[in-house]
């Protein structure tokens, strides 16, 4: 991973104070998404981690994980599986709960999205507290998938979210 690429991506992340509520410094990736060179560079970072591995499917978390995960799946020629907030998928689903600062939430995945023994990489834009990613890992494992790694464009290290994913390997490209 070239440090100049990482620094260009870091420069493309916009800090938005007090969003979605007071006291939060939101890391906005929309400038990266709207710049074709930066978007390609971000996808290439994920691809570097995946190339040469036997991967059957990429799983992306609602909603920005869809943007990165589907592009990675396309480039690798593998399937893409969306994990969504509860109530958004039309077919029968498996559900996993996770904690928020202000309560509980649920993620879901179609029951037939992953076959037993498939090799899975989880992709999302940001790892914060790890709640949604941990719920996604539970869904992948319930389906019989083998979670090889969880990958994130950004990791907020001070929130220690990777602990929620243990023993899964975690990769992140921009650390704050």
Residues 110-152 pLDDT 10s? 999 999 999 999 999 999 999 999 999 999 999 999 999 999 9
What are the structural domain ranges in the chain? 53-175
> Out of 10, 64, 106, 141, which one is annotated catalytic?
64
Asked about 101 being catalytic, the answer comes back as yes
The dihedral over CA atoms of 45, 118, 69, 174, expressed in degrees to the nearest 10, equals -40
| pLDDT over 90 at 74, yes or no | yes
Arithmetic mean of pLDDT over the chain: 96
- Residue 96's nearest CA partner among 130, 46, 146, 57 is 130
CA atoms of 131 and 168, how far apart (whole Å): 14
Looking at domain 53-175, which CATH architecture does it have? 3-Layer(aba) Sandwich (3.40)
Query: Rounded to the nearest 5°, which phi and psi values hold at 95?
Result: -125, 145
Catalytic, 108? Answer no
Burial state string for 52-68 with b = 16 or more CB within 10 A and e = fewer than 16: eeebbbbbbbbebbbbb
pLDDT over threshold 70, residue 61: yes
């Amino acid at each position: 991973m070239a440090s100049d690429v990482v620094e260009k991506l870091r420069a493309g992340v916009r800090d938005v104070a007090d969003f979605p509520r007071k006291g939060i410094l939101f890391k906005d990736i929309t400038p990266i998404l709207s710049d074709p060179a930066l978007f390609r560079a971000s996808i290439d970072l994920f691809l570097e981690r995946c190339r040469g591995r036997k991967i059957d499917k990429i799983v992306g978390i609602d909603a920005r994980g869809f943007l990165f995960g589907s592009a990675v799946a396309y480039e690798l020629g593998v399937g893409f599986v969306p994990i969504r907030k509860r109530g958004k998928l039309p077919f029968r689903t498996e559900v996993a709960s996770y904690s928020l600062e202000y309560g509980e939430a649920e993620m879901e995945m179609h029951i037939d999205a992953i076959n037993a023994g498939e090799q899975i990489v989880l992709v999302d834009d940001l790892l914060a507290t790890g709640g949604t990613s941990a719920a996604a890992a539970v869904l992948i494992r319930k389906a019989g998938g083998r979670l090889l790694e969880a990958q994130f464009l950004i990791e907020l290290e001070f929130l220690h979210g990777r602990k929620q994913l243990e023993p899964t390997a975690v990769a992140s490209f921009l650390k704050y």
